[in-house]
Amino acid sequence: MDDRRGSMSRGLDEAYFLDLLGDAYNGLGRYDEAVVALSSAVKVFEEQGAQCAHAVGLFKLAQSHLALAQHDQAIGYLEECLPIFRKLHLTGSEQRARAALDACLLVIA
């Protein structure tokens, strides 16, 4: 039991590191690398049930794809994070994701 808990903790620790790395890559304009790091982090957050980190990671992935002008991918991530933000009652995050989604939909219309 302790080994499994330790493994889960290490997995989350690595996911949070990758999340921060994705932020750094985004800040440097290295969006492709941000997508790789954030995608890995989001997968672990989802597997471990870290709902808030998962939703925020999805939003960050959407932002990275927007920076790459990959609107279809961004839309998918925004649509995925919205119900999680709503379920967690994270109104401000939900509003930011909704605004980003609306802007994306206008661009591709």
Task: Count other C-beta atoms under 10 Å from residue 60's C-beta.
Answer: 22
- Residue 109 is predicted with a pLDDT of 83
Q: What share of the chain is helix, strand, coil (3-state, %, to 5)?
A: 90, 0, 10
pLDDT tens-digit map of 16-66: 999 999 999 999 999 999 999 999 999 999 999 999 999 999 999 999 999
Instruction: Report angle CA 10, 13, 15 to the nearest 5 degrees.
Output: 110
Model's pTM, two decimal places?
A: 0.91
Of the candidates 91, 4, 93, 79, the residue with the CA atom closest to the CA atom of residue 48: 4
d(CA 107, CA 36): 24
What whole-number distance in Å separates Cα of residue 109 and Cα of residue 102?
11
